[in-house]
Each structure stands twice: as structure tokens, then as C-alpha cells.
Structure 1
């Protein structure tokens, strides 16, 4: 079958139908998103431990490349808070912040992430992201939000503080509490309060004053820009930089430069695992946002092509002075709400940011770092959702344990150990849950052909028949569990003469489980008890037919459980279905 070029270049699909109406909507969305991204990009670069221009650079080429290769019409790609924190954590372990080696390591991290994402996309391995369960992701993002907000307090307080864990950060802040700069505190506190008010109160106020929805929305999104302008002017006008207020300083007035990531084997080895973790976390966040927004317009997202789009975006960041990127929740929602019709809105946003990089960077020389920190704090606190603990406790204690452990490990030991532990916990939970599958003894519902759990329903049973419904695929983890369960039920002296395994929920039987079934079959044969199967799915039966198990089966294979019951039951006819 011949594949269309649009399969790997979605731009060829939506580009053919691009019209003036879509252009108008995309331009409006681009203006709104650009206004929001200028201060946000600078702030996230600060969070990643990089020069402020790196945030803008990471928002230009990646957006353009995603517009070509991505499938989401509304996803806005660029630096995000969690990935910025992961970048700082990973790069900080191989190079000192502020050095050329730090910047090269960030480029290398983006390159490795891009290569890994491309590899997953080309080989259609997007399902690997499913190894991170939603409760674990929620716990990790909540803990990351707390860490990010705490890490920015040093800029709002005007003190020198360090650390990668919550304990280290709080300890460092307390140790430097005597160095607090009152002017910085006033700037940072006022900016934080203002941004919280803008987020929650400005739009309703403007609507009550008669402003249109578009104007109110643009004004709300421009809140961080207003904070940047006012605090920058205040620092410049009153000479606050000479009074201890940390400022951004000189930012290169240029388009993104052509850069090269590092290729040293030691550097690649040190960053390989963090790059994989960043890729998985970024992809999970991105695909969740993309699918949510696409569903609202009945559009389709191809997860494997999304991997290619995000991989290309990260490679673009690696060669244009950026650092790892992904699809951001806040910017994507703004892009969608502003009316973006196609990925061209992202391309127009990139053009706007390129203009800002060339023409507006001198204006941020006196921008206080406290304002950027306030922007980050307000943005990330929306990620903190401690209610996930209560919800998982009420629903599943195992999921609660995973969430709680992920939050505690991330806060206590750092983001890399936290997310790594999350992956291990997700897999461990799956193995634990499936190691003891739900197996119900079933009986016939009178007057029907249906079989239900004897502990939940009033059903007909036959002492000579043990009917077990297996509610899980059989594989090496749970094979012995089923073997032991059957052995316990057919003890000496019992009246059972037939064991029927109802396999309607069994999607696969691996080789270990097959060997267990063979052992059960031989053991029951010795006990003169028949082993029968019912409702075996076609693919499972196809696999079983390639073995000798069916030929040596001490019983029969029935199309339905009712057929098995009717053929083997000695119960009075009044107990069976009419």
C-alpha cells in the first residue's frame, strides 16, 4: 500500500485547504500567544538556568518545525515549566550554571530528546508512554509545581540559594534569610499579587465594564507583559539595579544562532537517561493537551506522528540555541481559545518572537528577575493538585500509594529520581494488579444463558462442575496463581468432576501460562477430573492450536459457557435455562 506524503508531512494536508478565513484567525491567535510568550519564554529560560534569550530561541525554530510535522491544529510548542525544571536538574549535574559547558549540555539534551522522540515515532512506539500511569504523572507534576515555585522564591526575596530538592531549597533559603533585599521583595510580591489578580479578576472586571470578549481575553493574556513593563520602568527610573535588585541585563539582539550540541561520549552517556525521561514526560503532557483540544473540534491526532513532530522541534532547538521543548498546556489553550485554525498560527507566533528577538530585547535590560520569578510562580501553582491524594485514596489505595510515593520522592530526592520512581511504580502496580487476577466462580442465571459470580447473584450451580471466569490475560506473572487456585478448589474428597475455564476476558496466553495450563491438565487427569475451556477468543485459540495442548486436553473446548454447562451438568433441568 502506497503511503501519502501527507502521512509524514501533515502540512501538505491542511496547507491545501488554507484560506483567507483561516489566515485571519491564525494571525489573531498568533498575536495573543506572542504577547503571552515573550515574558514566559524569558522566565522559563531563567528556570532552566540558561540566559533569557534561550527561552525565545527555543520558541522559534521548534514551533516552525512542529507546524510542518505535527498533527495538532492548536498545540503550541516551546519551553514549559516542568521540562525547564528537568533541564536544570539534568544539566546542573554535568556543568556549572553560567558556563559555556552548561549551554552546550542543554543543547545536547535537546538533541538527544529529539533523536529519541524521532526514533519512537519512526518505529511507532508511542505506546511506551503508557508505562506512566495518570496518577503517577499527576503526582509528579504536582511535586514539580511545588519545587518550581520554591526554587523561584530566591529571586523574589533577592537572596542566593541553591538546591534540587525541597529540603535543600528550604534549608538554603533559611540559611540566607538575612540577605533579603526589601526592594526586591516589594517588586516580586507586588508582581505576584498582580498576576494572580489578572488571572482571576481582570477578565470578569473588564466584561462588567462592557469590554468585548476578545479585548478582555487579550488584556488578561497581556497581564505578564504589563508587569514586565511597569517593573522594568521602575527599576530604570529609580536606579534600583544599583540598590541590589537583580536584573536580566544585556540580551543579544539577534535571531537564533546556528549551534551544535556536544558529541562527547561522556556527555551523551550522562544525559541519555535524563533525555529519555524528559522525552516521555514531554510527550505525555503534549499528547494529552493535543487530544483534548482536538476532540473539541472532532479532529484527529496521530500519536506516532506527534512523536516525529516533537522530535523535529527538539532537534531544531538543539541547533538554534535552545533547550528541550514540548507542547505546553497554557499556551496551547490560549492558542485554541484565540481561534487558531491551523499550525500556521504557531508559525506566525514564531515570526512574532523572531521580531521580538531582533527589536525588543534591549528593552528588557532592566527587567528584574523577581518579575520573571513571579510569572513562573503564578503559572506553575495551577499545576499543583493535592486533591489527587484524596481522590485516589477514595478510589484505589494502590493508586494513592503510587501518587504519594511519587510526590514524596520527587520533593525529597529530586525530579529525576521522582519521575524514574514513577515509571517503576507504574510498572510495579500493573504487575501487582495482574499477578492476582480476579477469578470468579460462576453459575447459570435461571431462565437465561448468562453466567454470573455466585457471590453476587442467585444462580444455579452443579456440585460436579467448577466454572471459573478468568478476568485477565494469562502470562508469566499470574500463571502460578491460577494453577494454585485450581489445585486448592479440587482437593481430595470434593465432588468436582469437571473444571471449566471461561476465557471470555483472556486476550493472551503466554508460554509460561501455557506450561501452567499443561501442568493443571496433567494434574486433573490424574485426579480423573476433566479440564474444559469455553468462550476462547479467536487469536488465543489460533495460538493454542500451534501447540500440543489442545490435542492432549483432558476435556473439550466449547463455543459458549452455556454449551459447556448443558453438555456437562447433571443438575436438575429446573435449575437450567428453559
Structure 2
């Protein structure tokens, strides 16, 4: 019973070995990540269209719950840019920003997302995320980064500029450009330039002055905090709010409240599809980061348990005034680099953010919105990666088309349509690639027992024997393709007496493919040609034994292709 419980509560596994060294490393990592998360959480709440405190609330309970249920030792859960944008898009369609209904809809979206993730985790359906191809995800994230950065330009210029697509945002910016607030613009540009310099140049500068790696890293991660402090002091000291500079305003000085998502059927119906899309995108992003970091320390990530951990985190956000969350790339890398050894680092981070919510919130009243916008712009531009277009073009034009279409649809029609089309494209891409599997005619490599493609190697063949190696599992999408291929080959080669299907790469034969094999067998029998199978894998053979195919087969089953070659070829007919 205990191992089973530990599987669903990973804290029971790593918690047994927790020692003073791990505690020290986790505390140091928590300090660094907390410093980074305070301005970032405020900024992402702004991106989601929610009050600033919602970002901090979404970073406390979710982190604690993930520490209990998650399997990654370094993943940092909380608001992220892409999910914040998706939240704003989804919730903006059902409620007006700034209203109580908007906040309730965000809670409900988190609750639906958490429930969906938990459902997938309990039924161990984490493999569904594999249907999202990496190129499509990369294209969506690149386009989302552009949309997010563009959406923040209005705050940097101090003007009202909305829109859900790139064209709408640009038109809105240009039409209101004359209303630019010069002071806000100066603050926004200065903060953006400073944050870019901090990201690229501060750490090397500190190291050149003799600062240690840890100190240099902490000071660099505190860069956004410095931008927040300086610009906040400037607005307060010079009374810039009275001159049109938008500020965060009053933020409740309290721990996350107990909140309840809505159960109104109409609202649930409107949010269920966006919640599923957010869950899929969030899980794919999170599991990618978690597995990358785990591999560096030879640790294991359980995708299905990750679904439960992320589901619990989102439900925590729904009941504590937050909105949908997932594992963030930047903060997770910072957490890992800072030396986090266990999920306890996340729990300590949550405690740090709770202290900030109680003590520091009155200090951000005069924090300029332009500074938060600059924080978002600098963070999301690292997501933009157009090199994926060049890489996919040189490797696979099909993947390139999927990436390009995803980017164009996301930029032109909005993130919801973009991500939906990305999911559809990923599945369609898989179906297209497997609908015409690679089937090679193979022959014997002289002096060996190996068989290779006749188009690539000098091999021996027999004009009476056609051996086809099927390099894909057989299922409903490609079953008819194999029928037609064999029919064409047999028609071309009138001297054929035997067709051998080499099944070394076939891991599955579904019922549609079974019917196709039966049809192929009947046709070849009518033509006086035997159908043989070789190197059939055990699980596939077990399934075939329950059918009529093996009893009606107009040929034999061979353990190896070499056995088939020896039994079916005529020595005098072999062609080198």
C-alpha cells in the first residue's frame, strides 16, 4: 500500500531523504526565484487582464500543491506568458475586464483546467500530449511571443490599444499614437533597455569585478526588482501619476483569499474548450521543461503524475484567487541553476511570496504599468524563435508547412484559433506521415543473414520472390495503401510465386489492417501467389492467433527473413 501511495504522493519519496544540505540548497534557490517571481507574477496578471495581486495568489497555493504531487525536482509552477495570454483571450469573450465576472471566469477556467488535467492523470492519458508535434508547438509559442510583446506596446506608450490579432493590435496602436504619454514612454523604453542589458550584460560585468557566481546570479535575477524600485520611486517622488502615468494602484495586503469557481452551466460551456486547450499547451510546455532538467541529473519524470500535480496546482489557483498556471521555462531554469534539489524549493518560494503579499504590496501602489509591460516584453521575446522555420525547411517541408501555418494563423486569427489549428495540424501531420508508410523491397546482403533495401545496397534477389519490409505499424489509415502497393508490385512482376511481408518494424495491426491482409491473401491465392510473413513480433502474433488469417494464409510464417529466403528461393534463379 505504501509504494502505491508514494506513487501518487512523490513527496513521500524525496521527503524521506531530505537533509540539511538539501535544505540549504533549496532555501538559496527559493530566495533567487522569489526575487524573480515578484515582478513577473504582477506582470503576468496584467497580461491576463486581472488585478496585480492575482499573479501573486496564483504563485502560492499552486506551488505548494505541486510540491506535494509533482515529480520534477526543479519545475517552478505559476503564471506563464502564453497561458496568461490564452486566459485573457478566453475570459475576455465571456466577461468585461475589470469586473467581478471577469475574475470569477478566470477562477472557473483554472478549475476546469485542473479538473481536465486530473482526469487525464488518473486515467494515465499523458501520452495524448505526444500528438502535439514539437515544430507546431514551437510555431505557436513564437507567434504567441510576438502577440504578447505587441499587446504590451500600448502600456509602454501610455495609450489604449486592444485587439486579439497582430493586425488589430498594430492598427489600434497606430490610430492612438497621437495620444502617447511622453513620460510613460520614457519610463517604458528605459525599463525595457535596462532589463535587456541586465539579461545580457550585468552578469559578465559583475564577474569581471570579481563577484562570485552565486552573487552575480542573484544580482542579475534581481534586475527586474531594481527596475520596479527605481521607477516606482520616480513616480512617487515626482508625482508622475498626476501627469498621466498609469500605476498598479492599491493591492490588498493579505494572503490569498478562499474563492469559489462558478458552476453556471452557460459559463462552463463557454470555457470548457479554452480550458482543454490551455491544459494541453500548459502540460506540453511543462513536461518538456521538467524532462529536460531531470535528464541533467538522471532523474525520472512521470508524465501521468505530472498531470495530477499540474491539475492539483490549477485547482489550488481556482480556490485561492488565481488563474490557470503551469511550469514556466525561465523560472524553472533559474530554480535548477540556483541549486534546487527537491520540490521543497518551490514550497519555500511560496512562503516567500506569501510574506511579500502580506508586507510588500503597499509599496507597489506607484509601480508604473509601463514597467510591468517592459518586464513582459523582455521575458517573452526570448520565446520568439524563427530559426525553427529554417530548421524545418531544410529537414522536412511538411513540418515547415505546419510551423508556418501555425504562426500565420495565430498571428492573423488569434491564439485560440492558432492553438486549436496547431492541435489539428499535429494530428493531421501524424496521420499523413503514417498513411503512406515506407515500404522497401529488400534482398540478401551477400555473405550475411541480413536483408537491406535493394535501392541502397548491392543485394541478392530472386525473380520469383518479392520481399517487402513494412516500416510502420499497420492501421486503418495505411491499410488500403499496402493493399494497392502489393497489387501493383505483383502485377508488374508476372513471374512472382511468393510475396513475403517482413514485419520487423510492425508493432501493431488493427482490425482494418487485418481485413486488408485477409483481402491481400485472397487476391494472391487467386493469382497463384503465396503470402508469407516473417519476423512477426510476439504481441502482434498473439493477436493474429485469435483470428482466421493464420489458418487461411496462402503461405507460411517464418521466424526470420533468412529462414524465408532459404525456404522460398531457387538457387539457380538468384540474381546478385
- Deviation (angstroms), 1:339: 1.0
Residues 402-441 of structure 1: pairs in structure 2 closer than 5 A: 402-441=402-441
1:556 aligns with: 556
Q: Give the SS at the match of 1:32.
A: helix
- The residue that corresponds to 1:52 in the other structure is 52
Q: Equivalent residue for 2:398?
A: 398
Pairwise mapping of residues 292-331 of structure 1 onto structure 2 (< 5 A)?
A: 292-331=292-331
The Cα shift of 1:492 comes to: 7.3
Is the contact between residue 135 and residue 402 of structure 1 (CA under 8 Å) also seen in structure 2?
Answer: yes
Displacement of 1:67 in angstroms is 0.9
Any conservation in 1 of the 2:57–2:317 contact (CA below 8 Å)?
yes
Preserved CA contact (<8 Å) 1:473 1:508 = yes
For residues 139 and 132 of structure 1, what CA distance do their matches in structure 2 show? 12
The whole-number CA distance in structure 1 between the counterparts of 2:21 and 2:421 is 48
CA contact (8 A) 1:461 1:571 kept: no
Q: Could you say which residue in structure 2 is the equivalent of 1:386?
A: 386
* 1:464-506 Cα distance to aligned partner (Å, 9 max, x none): 1111111111111111111111111112771111111111111
**Residue 89, structure 1, aligned to residue 101, structure 2:** no
Partner of 1:180: 180
**Structure 1 residue 8, shift from structure 2 partner:** 1.0
Where does residue 465 of structure 1 map in the other structure? Answer: 465
CA offset digits 1:275-300 (Å, max 9, x no partner): 01111111111111111111111111
Matched residue, 2:156: 156
Q: 1:229 to 1:458 in 2, by over 3 A?
A: same
Q: Per-residue deviation at 1:82?
A: 0.5
Aligned residue in 1 for 2:193: 193
**Matched residue pairs, number?**
576
Matches within 5 A, 1:28-107: 28-107=28-107
Deviation of residue 261 (structure 1)?
Answer: 0.5
> Which secondary structure state, in structure 2, belongs to the residue aligned with residue 377 of structure 1?
helix
Deviations 1:291-337 (A, max 9, x none): 11111111111111111111111000000000000111111111111
Q: Structure 2: any 5+ residue segments left out of the alignment? A: none
Residue 434 of structure 1: SS of its match in structure 2? helix
CA distance in 1, matches of 2:537, 2:64: 47
Matched residue SS, 2:440:
strand
Partner of 2:535: 535
Q: Give TM-score, length-normalised by structure 2.
A: 0.99
CA–CA separation in structure 2 for the residues paired with 1:512 and 1:562: 29
Deviations 1:209-245 (A, max 9, x none): 0111111001100000000000001111111111111
Give every structure 1 segment of 4 or more consecutive aligned residues whose post-TM-superposition deviation is greater than 4 Å. 573-576
Structure 1 partner of 2:206: 206
Range with bigger deviation, 486-495 or 14-23 = 486-495
> For structure 1, which segment, 509-518 or 54-63, has the greater mean C-alpha deviation from structure 2 after superposition?
509-518
Kindly state the Cα deviation for residue 153 of structure 1 after the two structures are TM-superposed.
Answer: 0.3
Q: State the alpha-carbon separation in 2 of the partners of residues 324 and 31 from structure 1.
A: 24
Q: Does structure 1 conserve the Cα–Cα contact (< 8 Å) formed by 2:462 and 2:574?
A: no
Q: How does 1:497-512 map to 2 (within 5 A)?
A: 497-512=497-512
For residues 75-97 of structure 1, give each alpha carbon's deviation from its aligned partner in whole angstroms, at most 9, with x where no partner exists. 11100001000000100011010
| Cα deviation code 1:543-573 (max 9, x no counterpart) | 1111111111111111111111111111338
Contact persistence 1:446–1:575 (CA under 8 A) = no
Who is 1:341 aligned against? 341
Which residue of structure 1 lines up, in the alignment, with residue 114 of structure 2? Answer: 114
The 1-side partners of 2:493 and 2:161 are apart by 74
Unaligned runs of 5+ in 1: none
| 8 A Cα contact 2:503 2:537, kept in partner | yes
Q: In structure 2, what is the equivalent of residue 243 of structure 1?
A: 243
- The 3 A distance-change label for structure 1 pair 467 and 179 is same
Superposed displacement of residue 4, structure 1:
3.2
